[in-house]
Structure 1
Amino acid sequence: MTQTITKPISFDEFVAWYPENATCKYELHNGRIVEMPLGTGAHSNIIGFIRLKLGVIIDRYELPYSIPGDCLLKPLDDESGYQPDIIVLDKGELSKEPRWQKESIITLGESVRLVVEVVSNNWQNDYLRKAGDYELMGIPEYWIVDYLGLGGRRFIGEPKSPTLSVYTMVDGEYEVRQFRGNDRVESVAFPELELTVQQIFEG
């Protein structure tokens, strides 16, 4: 049984608390442990589809990247920790990561080529919390895959519709480009990618 913690905790306390062989995922948000809900079939299919397509490109072009099965991403503050739906790591940078080999923890934005989050009902985490933290870490590219159009109007416009937002680092800040329908997704990390938004959403 997982022990309940009610007081705010640090990232290291969260790592020590994290149950072995957990049947679900947990994240740390502002010192509070958050159980991540199990994704729907469509949510899981989209994650698997993107992971597969990126993996094919990595293999075909012999890119020095890897997509780990499990990974904990530590933002700059000491009260948060995330498990991205997909994270693409630069293998050449992992030797600089002090906690990677023993704990699968990433602390440096330079180690990351791309983070992908597929939106569920708690869309505020992806658009507000994580976008800000990933920007501060210097992660060069971040996708928000909002296949149900759940995000706030200030993020995806009115009327709300399914949108894939690509956040790209430019001069230390994220610039956002949005793709919908038959738009081809443009990625800095994967310029070879030949996928439309609709293909991704259909998984």
Structure 2
Amino acid sequence: MVQTTSSVTTFDEFMAWYPEQGRYELINGRVQEVKPTGVHEQVGGYLNGRLAVEIARLKLPYFLPKSCTIKPFSEQSGYLPDVVVVDSTQLKHEPRWQRESTLTQGKSMPLIVEIVSTNWRDDYQRKAADYEEMGIPEFWIVDYLGLGGRRYIGTPKQPTLSVYQWVDGEYQVALFRDEEPIVSPTFPDLELTLAQVLQESQVQGNDM
């Protein structure tokens, strides 16, 4: 936690303050430093590479930015997704993109991926609700340690990849574990399982 005072930071204040070094999010008016573990970065790097290959194969007008900020409807939050697929044809509708590499329109992001860290409630509760409100078509939560609440990943708790699909204004969720083929509306021909993600990311047994 970077912010220690009781004052609430707005998104505009957050972006004006944002330093050249470090990674930060604004969560309900509070600035938080993002410090992912090595395994977290391995999983994100592998998924980024797989999706990049799929985008190139299908010749889609998508790209994967190294870093960008997502501004939900709230004026007191700003997120830094682990992986985000951006539709370049929609950037003309993004007023903050050129100046701040910030996205505000759900249609600009066909898919967002969040990889669960210790504060899993941010992903399953706050971010899922905000991404749903924005109308982001597809949202993955990669819970490679099975940390999420049982109401989200079931019992017994185990590594789970949740795919949220935006249907008629709200998310419908499907859970995938082990060798179950992941079904992605954005990439319907994607051949991928959670077991493969963990294996190719070199997630070892003691990391589980």
Into which bin does the TM-score normalised by the smaller protein fall? over 0.9
Counterpart residue number, 2:11: 11
Residues of 1 paired with 2:4 and 2:19: CA distance? 11
The residue type paired with residue 17 of structure 1 is W
After superposition, the C-alpha distances for 1:97-151 in whole angstroms (9 at most, x for unaligned) are: 0010111000111111000001010101000000000000000000000000000
The offset of 1:86, in angstroms, is 0.4
Q: Does 1:194 align with 2:188?
A: no
Q: Does 1:31 align with 2:29?
A: yes
Counterpart residue number, 1:114: 111
Counterpart residue number, 1:146: 143
- Unaligned 5+ residue runs, structure 1? none
**TM-score normalised by L of structure 2:** 0.92
The offset of 1:70, in angstroms, is 1.0
Distance 1:93-1:5 versus aligned 2 partners, 3 A rule: farther
The offset of 1:40, in angstroms, is 2.0
> Residue 104 of structure 1 is aligned with which of 90, 94, 101?
101
Residues of 2 paired with 1:139 and 1:57: CA distance? 19
Q: Does 1:74 align with 2:71?
A: yes
Counterpart residue number, 1:134: 131
The residue type paired with residue 187 of structure 2 is F
Q: Does 1:124 align with 2:121?
A: yes
Counterpart residue number, 1:62: 59
Q: Does 1:168 align with 2:160?
A: no
Residues of 2 paired with 1:94 and 1:81: CA distance? 18
The offset of 1:56, in angstroms, is 0.5
Residues of 2 paired with 1:9 and 1:48: CA distance? 31
The residue type paired with residue 167 of structure 2 is V
Residues of 2 paired with 1:13 and 1:196: CA distance? 40
The residue type paired with residue 14 of structure 1 is F
The residue type paired with residue 114 of structure 1 is L
Residues of 2 paired with 1:3 and 1:160: CA distance? 33
- Unaligned 5+ residue runs, structure 2? 202-208
Partner secondary structure for residue 145 of structure 1:
strand
After superposition, the C-alpha distances for 1:47-81 in whole angstroms (9 at most, x for unaligned) are: 00000000001111111101100100000010000
| Structure 2 contact 3–32 (Cα < 8 Å) conserved | no
After superposition, the C-alpha distances for 1:15-55 in whole angstroms (9 at most, x for unaligned) are: 001112x1x31100111111112x22221111000000000
The residue type paired with residue 78 of structure 2 is G
Residues of 2 paired with 1:87 and 1:6: CA distance? 31
Instruction: Give the length in aligned residue pairs.
Output: 199
Residues of 1 paired with 2:3 and 2:39: CA distance? 31
The offset of 1:3, in angstroms, is 8.5
Partner secondary structure for residue 93 of structure 1:
helix
**TM-score normalised by L of structure 1:** 0.95
Residues of 1 paired with 2:104 and 2:38: CA distance? 31
After the TM superposition, which parts of structure 1 deviate over 6 Å for at least 4 consecutive aligned residues? none
